[in-house]
Structure 1
Amino acid sequence: MVHALERLVVRHTHRLPVPTAVGRDGAGGGAVAARRFDAALMSVGFKLSAELLEELSGRAPETVVALAARTLDTVREIVGDHVRHNVYFVDFPAHVPDTLDFWRERVAEALGDEKSRAGVLEQLSDGAVDLLTLPSYGTYRHTYADLLAAHDELIAAAGDRITVLHLAGAPDDEAAALYLALAGSVTPLGEDDLKDLAVLAGHCVDGPQPETIPVRESRAVVNRARLAAGADLLLDTVTDVLRLACALSGGDVTLREPTRFRALSRPVRRAVLAGLDAVVAAAPAKLADVAAHREPWKRLGERLHPHEYPRWPHAAEVFAVARGERRARSFDSLVEERLGRNDVTGAAELLTAAPGRLFRALDRLLRTADGPERREAVLAAAERAAPHVAGRVVLSLREHVQNRADGGAKQRVFVNRTGGAWVTADTRPPLPEDVRERLLALLDDETRRRLPAPGHLVVDPAVLDVALPLSGRATAAGLGVLPRGSVSPVDGELLRFFMYWKQTRRSTDYDLSALILDADYETVTWLSYTTLTALEGEHSGDITNAPDGASEFINLRLGAVRGTFLVPQVDIYSGEDFEQVDESFFGYMLRDAEQAGRPFEPRTVRMKSDLRGPGRVALPLAFQRDDDGRWHARWLHLHLRGQPSANRVEENRVSVAVLLRGLLARTPLTVRHLTELMADTATTTSLWDGEAAAPWDEGTVPDGPVTYIGLERPAGLPAGARVLTPENLRDLIPS
């Protein structure tokens, strides 16, 4: 268990816990092992901080070696180096053939094979050949050892990625801190973070707990651990109980997908029903929430058998409402009733009892309100409710309002919780400018009031265009991944996409493609298995089955790209989807032209993210060239529904262009917005990328608190500094 916790800490914080059970070696016997550990880490783009290297040098050699083995396994998986990345063309990107020539060669080989000749001749007589029936198409024709022999060693370059691992405390202390951070997060966690929280909650159930668990999904995960340990449950709505039941059955605590409830033991049934009874007894009006999830409640009732427990009559009322035997009007129906009577003022006043819902409905209320008096009443209700609204809702509304200016985007882009996206025309009238400006001022004042005083605020300029992580679902798990809407610079001559997948039960074919669009979002060209070469670069070849895992690559010379946008995508041609495969991930590397090396070199990986989502086409990010010729990554984390099979870049290029145009017309709320608000109360604000000397004069380290916000933790910060990087940027969101 300790090793599992150590792994979680490394992945989430890029800090390495050092075991406390083994004492220090006063002779410094671990120095050689520590230096070897550091060298091995550098081969995959990681490095020990000076403080961590010094600490390990004083430990026993066997302790360092064991820690190094575990850590190397962890960081290799983080960067995607835990698997063997082979390619169809052994010396890729050199000597990739023309697509039609390659296909003709495969047909000729098949005709020369006695086993396949008759079938190919029959297909030729019909005028077309299915590539998937050719014996030499879609499967590796050489071993991984052959691949290594065909490539020179990677030449080290100053631009290679180096991710520093910093010294952490004891594993239990670090695990407890990570648990408090995840459980107390004010923004919803992603799927992977929820799984990690479940592990940590079970380990930390008897330790310190966060003051509040604001996110309901997180609360359900923690409640499952508390129930197993016999601790009191944290419940204040009937839906909290439903989420807990989903967690107990291994289902979806977000309630997006139906859960097949398992049979529950009698002690668990008693605990769940007792908790449900207490919630309803304390506030009978909460029965109104049942209607939103009527069917799940009915199915859960079949497992809980509430009729067997007459001592909890209030719990039985929940299931009576679900069955329609008792009426409990929902809050939303009361609001809709007032709006149906054109009583906008009454609807707004009613919604002040649910401040979060008021803020989510504010645009509609202001559009519906006819006349300045009614709009004033709605704005007054918003001002009274503002102090009681969650910080992420305040910021979400701020992002929405800044994009509602007259003459703004003419399209609406909808992105659901799982990354599914679609675009439609925006037929809403714009908000009056005076109303919009007043709302922006209200939201900024409320955010500024909640932000803690940062003391000396130090900001890496590279983080300013990172979108605020208002939801963990807007970011995939991985390395170097930023929230949806973020913009980050891309520096290098060669851009190389990579994709890996390993099927679980049935033959699965994923295809890596790259679409190139001009400034008007018109197609210039693409690279895929149907277009292996173009002026811009090369495709590594099509692999059509992955029982042992398979990889595909696209190599691009950025200076040769004829368009404005590069949009990589992963298309499911056949087989298992992104949720079914054993593993799948996407990423990109940056290199100088003379670096050589294997198709996959971990030191050059800038980003690697897991591929998870409901669609059949994944769009992790896009690349855009600005007017000065510089390239930037724009983070998408989106999925298109696609077709059940045979998805190809040629078939979805129009949908991708329309979606990209709609997304780029919106302005996300970024770190820049919060740092500007924080600067109002900072004692000093400095810009610092960590490369030069510290942002204060030598010998004048600030006495008070220091808050650093950047892409990575730099050396030279004073002890006790608050550090915010992409790994914990959610902590920047005020509660």
Structure 2
Amino acid sequence: MSMDLEELVVSRTFRVPAVEGPAGDGTMATRQFDAVLMSAGFKLSGELFARLSGLAAGTVIDTAVRVLPMVRRLVGDHVEHNVYFRDFPANVPGTVEFWTECLVRALGDELAAEASIRSGAVNLLALPGYGTYQHDYAEMIAAHDELIASVRDRVTVLHAGMTLSEEVSALYLSMAGSVTPFGTEDVAVLRELALHCATGPQPAAVPVREHRAILNEVRLAAGADLLVDTVTDVLRLACLLSDGDVSLLEPTRFRSFRRPVRRALLAALDGVIAAQPAKLGDVGVRREAWKRLGERLHPHEYPRYDSAAQVFAVARGELAAPSFASRLERMLADGDVVGAARLLRSAPGMLFRSMDNLLRKAFGDLEREGVLLELNGAVEEVSGRVLLSVREHLDNRESGEMRIFANRSGRGAVLPDERYPIAPEVLDLLREMIDREITRRLDVPLPLVIDPEILEVALPLSGKGIGDGLGVLPRGSVTTVDAELLRFFVYWHERAVRTDFDLSAVLLDRDFTSIGWLSYTNLTEVGGVHSGDITAAPDGASEFIDIRLDKVEAALVLPQVNIYTGEGFDEVRESFFGYMSRDAYQQGAPYEPRTVRAKSDLRGAGRTALPLAFFRHADGRWRAKWLHLHLSGSPEFNRVESNQLTTATLARAVVERRYLTVAYLVGLLSATTESVLWDGGPIAEPVTFIGLARPDGLPAGSTVVTPENLRDLIPA
């Protein structure tokens, strides 16, 4: 399905592409546009306001009609958010009181009583009226006072952009050249942009192999040369052309390819092997996939590609080609740790990813020094993302308690850390080695201005398992929650079968021990209120939880979304999680767009989502830390009561883990670049600005790094 290119630009850059139209006095229409935007928490920048004001009023109105739905979707304001209890958060009954009222109503209805009572037990979820809205959206809105504006309400500024074609090209080049792998939504966007920009400027390099497969699909259709330097690049492309898993984690059922496609794939394979015959060693890693692909490519029909034919001969076992991994395993089994490190010099990224294992196996000072010597010799050849990942690993290596793992779909697991320790002085040497190399690669020609609010944002070393949205930050990022009242919410819209999502929250003390929870089975807890259970969403449904941060007894609040029954996060029409922060006096409806701080699409194969955690810092202020984790859960009937221990363990592992943040890179940059912390005032000269949002009125020629393009900070 084709995506709206203008909306892609607005949602991912907060820039409105230049509008074409007749000149005129559009000041009044622009002011009205700005006022409506502010009701959703957005505002026109000074430059964009001036640009629109110089156009005819009709052109401004047309622009508003297009842009307003885009920003409303960004924040989740494109749907109606109703609640089970009309007056929420007021007048929500206690759990026992609520169930008693439901039973009384059911027993007053003989048919309902007969349907609800079986074998002396009562099916509470089948009671009449339970799980469905008891009032319409208009009635719910009428029951709430208007939101009182606060200076702390969110204001997201929309800036003036270049022409649409220039913005699309710039976005494409930025995404295609990213060193960070993307999640599902971003991969789909990159594919759309690649199709649109096939004949335009192309990135100088495409570091991420999965992204390279997407560009190769487009290049193949255009008859251009493919970007391949390994046999696996060709395999990924074949998987993509068959609508399979380009990450190669799941087997692909290859389709029958047209002759030109078969010829192009075989020619690409032939070129790789002819140039580097040692690449045949990579075939054995995915032998079965190559066998299946060979059945579709018919290499025997193309005798001129004799090097490509060797790939399939290796896959069938007719030609020996020891894999790199097997040679490495043999050396380690023989105790030749230094030899293994020397072998890995030809694969620098793998060498650094194997660093911990090699150092643990090294016996004595001589072997350890030999491994360190190989690491030091290869450090300049390792990608920046791998170096930063290893650097983060080193910061957590001495904890010795728990290790957290998150796979590509965001499923989390925590295991005891049973590895042998590495000497602190060795860890320090490795940190210094990586810091020195990262510093050498960082290049910021302009003075650096840093918004202090971004310093605790984690570097985006991977986008896997992270949904799109507004204010979404990488796993491990921390932001301040400056409000008396915290309200988080979930929205879902089922596609084909009845689907029940349940919003819940576990309340933990400072030792990560559960002291209570909020859910449809426990509507009120000290300082918290649940909006009530909705058990189906044929037209969409919402649930909310309200937490008074100045009253709640917990030190940590862990929201979660459980799939009780029905479709998964990847199957529903739409689902997203978000949170609002307000001052207690503001009143307003349960959902108010300008108080939304973050809204994240819910995607992933798990049945329980853990988007983020809210915790009370040592200074007494509350903060949010992004988790982006999923639990596998049960196929049906997931409930907060049954997974409190698992979620608490995961939350502890993420909250206590030390993530590599923007502050780390800023610290390295400050040693070589003039830098200051931004105080919120005007900036007079062009700078490199790093912050949560682009300031209005930034001088022309400035470079801006915000969460939307934070990946640009990671050196190649």
TM band (smaller chain)? over 0.9
**CA shift digits 1:6-44 (9 cap, x unpaired):** 111111111110234x34x1xx32222211111111111
The answer to whether the aligner puts 1:44 opposite 2:44 as a matched pair is no
CA distance in 1, matches of 2:75, 2:91: 28
The CA deviation at 1:114 is: 4.1
CA contact (8 A) 1:454 1:681 kept: no
Letter in 2 for 1:613: G
CA distance in 1, matches of 2:349, 2:704: 30
Structure 1 equivalent of residue 625 of structure 2: 634
The answer to whether the aligner puts 1:492 opposite 2:483 as a matched pair is yes
CA contact (8 A) 2:47 2:697 kept: no
Q: Cα 1:163–1:588, aligned 2, differ >3 Å: closer, same or farther?
A: same
Structure 2 equivalent of residue 722 of structure 1: 703
Indicate which of 453, 458, 468 corresponds to 1:467: 458
The answer to whether the aligner puts 1:359 opposite 2:352 as a matched pair is yes
Structure 2 equivalent of residue 76 of structure 1: 72
Indicate which of 84, 99, 104 corresponds to 2:100: 104
CA distance in 2, matches of 1:246, 1:548: 36
Q: Which moved more, 1:221-230 or 1:495-504?
A: 221-230
CA distance in 2, matches of 1:278, 1:443: 35
Matches within 5 A, 1:332-347: 332-347=325-340
Q: Cα 1:129–1:579, aligned 2, differ >3 Å: closer, same or farther?
A: same
CA distance in 2, matches of 1:2, 1:50: 32
TM-score, length of structure 1 as denominator length = 0.95
CA distance in 2, matches of 1:615, 1:478: 19
Q: Secondary structure at the match of 2:464?
A: helix
Q: Secondary structure at the match of 1:74?
A: helix
Indicate which of 534, 537, 542 corresponds to 1:546: 537
CA contact (8 A) 1:455 1:707 kept: yes
**CA shift digits 1:328-347 (9 cap, x unpaired):** 21111111111000000100
Indicate which of 671, 676, 694 corresponds to 1:713: 694
The CA deviation at 1:589 is: 0.2
CA distance in 2, matches of 1:732, 1:334: 36
Q: Secondary structure at the match of 2:121?
A: coil
Q: Cα 1:283–1:430, aligned 2, differ >3 Å: closer, same or farther?
A: same
CA contact (8 A) 2:290 2:315 kept: yes
Indicate which of 500, 512, 518 corresponds to 1:509: 500
The CA deviation at 1:207 is: 0.8
CA distance in 1, matches of 2:208, 2:374: 25
Letter in 1 for 2:607: R
CA distance in 1, matches of 2:111, 2:274: 75
The answer to whether the aligner puts 1:666 opposite 2:657 as a matched pair is yes
CA distance in 2, matches of 1:262, 1:147: 52
The percentage of counterpart residues that share the same residue type is 59
Q: Cα 1:83–1:477, aligned 2, differ >3 Å: closer, same or farther?
A: same
The answer to whether the aligner puts 1:139 opposite 2:129 as a matched pair is no
**CA shift digits 1:549-577 (9 cap, x unpaired):** 11100011111111110000000111111
Q: Matched residue pairs, number? A: 716
Matches within 5 A, 1:171-570: 171-405=164-398, 408-473=399-464, 475-570=466-561
**CA shift digits 1:686-708 (9 cap, x unpaired):** 1015x3343xxxxxx44xx6211
The answer to whether the aligner puts 1:657 opposite 2:648 as a matched pair is yes
Indicate which of 51, 56, 81 corresponds to 1:55: 51
**CA shift digits 1:605-659 (9 cap, x unpaired):** 0000011112111000001102332101011000111111111111100111112
Root mean square deviation of aligned Cα: 1.5
CA contact (8 A) 1:2 1:171 kept: no
**CA shift digits 1:375-400 (9 cap, x unpaired):** 11111101110000000101111111
**CA shift digits 1:652-695 (9 cap, x unpaired):** 0011111222223321111001001111111x211015x3343x
Letter in 1 for 2:678: W
Matches within 5 A, 1:142-161: 142-161=135-154
Which runs of 5 or more structure 1 residues have no equivalent in the other structure? Answer: 695-700
CA contact (8 A) 1:474 1:483 kept: no
CA distance in 2, matches of 1:706, 1:465: 21
TM-score, length of structure 2 as denominator length = 0.98
The CA deviation at 1:474 is: 5.8
CA contact (8 A) 2:46 2:697 kept: no
CA distance in 2, matches of 1:296, 1:140: 51
CA contact (8 A) 1:566 1:622 kept: yes
Q: Which moved more, 1:622-631 or 1:339-348?
A: 622-631
Letter in 1 for 2:533: D
CA contact (8 A) 1:724 1:731 kept: yes
The CA deviation at 1:260 is: 2.9
Indicate which of 116, 119, 122 corresponds to 1:120: 116
Q: Secondary structure at the match of 1:75?
A: helix
**CA shift digits 1:293-321 (9 cap, x unpaired):** 22322332233232332232222222222
CA distance in 1, matches of 2:185, 2:588: 32
Structure 2 equivalent of residue 688 of structure 1: 678
Letter in 2 for 1:714: P
Structure 1 equivalent of residue 11 of structure 2: 11
Letter in 1 for 2:11: R
CA distance in 2, matches of 1:216, 1:478: 25
The answer to whether the aligner puts 1:646 opposite 2:642 as a matched pair is no
Q: Secondary structure at the match of 2:550?
A: helix
Q: Which moved more, 1:302-311 or 1:171-180?
A: 302-311
Which runs of 5 or more structure 2 residues have no equivalent in the other structure? Answer: none
Q: Secondary structure at the match of 1:612?
A: coil
CA contact (8 A) 1:409 1:662 kept: no
Structure 2 equivalent of residue 29 of structure 1: 25
CA distance in 1, matches of 2:2, 2:156: 24
The CA deviation at 1:327 is: 2.6
